[in-house]
Amino acid sequence: MPKVSVIGAGNVGSEVARRIVEKDLADVVLVDIVEGVPQGKALDILQSAPVEGFDKKIEGSNDYAMIQDSDIVVVTAGLARKPGMTREDLVMKNGQIIKEVSKNIKKHAPKSMVVMVTNPLDVMAQLCWKTTGFENNRVIGMAGILDTSRFICFLSAETKVPADKIEAVVLGGHGDAMVPLIDYTFIDGRPVKEVIAEETLAAIVQRTRDGGAEIVKLLKTGSAYYAPSSSAVEMVDCILNDNKKILPCSAYLKGQYGLLDVFIGVPVKVGASGAEEIIELKLTDEEKHELHRSARVIKDTILLCEK
């Protein structure tokens, strides 16, 4: 029976856990440092099984020993930025959390794949990879699926074309540094530039970049978790079922796109071995420039964690 552990039983972690058991993908262990929270949430989700009709088990714990034999560990542990906290404070704090979580993954689930969700995403994926010492295909970050999904939602709303008839790819770092590939965006088979006016398209790209912030502003406390959990579970599904789908994910680059030793969003073939292949698309000079700028931001942020 496949087993997935989810570290962090907050908004994203508990939704990831719920979606995994509801989709009958795997048994789940939910781990958090706060006593009672993972146990309570797991019990609550379990009690929906007779109504939802799933038969997978879910358990909550504060003990990392429970993640033993996991096929995949999804990492959602971390702090959200609080008032008065600088971006650097947040990076250092989440960096400490991810180092501690990664040491526990290495100790208790040394054969697992890791799907990183904690922000700043690309930096935390790289930190986890370094701390666990896992092969680079075994750590993948979730971001591009979410950014692409948001982009497609807005394109669908603008054109009234159903989302499943829209193709798009978003690369680069998660958030402000994302790089949507306009030449790979098609609305019902037609290049997006032929369907949407330049100014409107630029506004949609900007709204996608600010996608997380727009939700934070509306919620007032906390940040997005329904769409982020869907995206993380898509990766879990691909790994467990060896789907070999091409998904935009944060993966380790060793020369692809002219970038070395950095986790960044690129199209990745995701299957049983994790990030099985990095797909190199032909980029315009401007997109290449933006991707490299995005990589520089990620590399500078990694230095902060290493201080």
| Enzyme catalytic residues | 174
Q: Is the dihedral of CA 60, 66, 70, 75 positive or negative?
A: positive
Print the SS3 string covering 141-175.
ECCHHHHHHHHHHHHHHHHCCCHHHEECCEEECCH
**Part of the chain binding ligand A3D (CB under 6 A), chosen from 47-55, 114-122, 153-161, 162-170:** 114-122
Minimum separation from the CB atom of position 296 to ligand A3D (A): 19
Residue facing ligand A3D at closest CB distance: 10
For ligand A3D, which is the closer residue by CB, 159 or 229? 229
**Part of the chain binding ligand A3D (CB under 6 A), chosen from 116-124, 269-277, 278-286, 297-305:** 116-124
Contact flag: residue 60 with ligand A3D (CB under 6 A): no
Contact flag: residue 32 with ligand A3D (CB under 6 A): yes
Q: Which one of 22, 33, 68, 207 is in contact with ligand A3D (CB under 6 A)?
A: 33
Q: Which one of 60, 78, 267, 271 is in contact with ligand A3D (CB under 6 A)?
A: 78
Minimum separation from the CB atom of position 53 to ligand A3D (A): 26
- Tokens standing for residue 91: 């990076």
Give CA–CA dist 27/55, Å, rounded: 9
Q: Which one of 4, 6, 13, 29 is in contact with ligand A3D (CB under 6 A)?
A: 13
The DSSP annotation for the chain comes to --EEEEE--SHHHHHHHHHHHHTT--EEEEE-SSTTHHHHHHHHHHTTHHHHT----EEEES-GGGGTT-SEEEE---PPPPTT--HHHHHHHHHHHHHHHHHHHHHH-TT-EEEE-SSSHHHHHHHHHHHH---GGGEEE--HHHHHHHHHHHHHHHH---GGGEE--EEESSGGGEEE-GGG-EETTEEHHHHS-HHHHHHHHHHHHTHHHHHHHHHSSS---HHHHHHHHHHHHHHHTT--EEEEEEEEEESGGG-EEEEEEEEEEEETTEEEEE------HHHHHHHHHHHHHHHHHHHHHH-
**Part of the chain binding ligand A3D (CB under 6 A), chosen from 40-48, 140-148, 159-167, 287-295:** 140-148
Minimum separation from the CB atom of position 48 to ligand A3D (A): 19
Contact flag: residue 8 with ligand A3D (CB under 6 A): yes
Question: Under rule CB under 6 A, which residues in 218-237 are in contact with ligand A3D?
Answer: 222-225, 228
Mark residues 157-186: x for contact with ligand A3D by CB under 6 A, - for none. Answer: -----------------x------------
For ligand A3D, which is the closer residue by CB, 118 or 159? 118
For ligand A3D, which is the closer residue by CB, 180 or 228? 228
Q: Residue 170 phi/psi, 5° resolution?
A: -120, 125
Minimum separation from the CB atom of position 98 to ligand A3D (A): 8
Mark residues 247-286: x for contact with ligand A3D by CB under 6 A, - for none. Answer: ----------------------------------------
Residues that bind ligand A3D (CB under 6 A): 7-13, 32-34, 76-78, 80, 94, 97, 100-101, 117-119, 121, 142-143, 146, 174, 222-225, 228
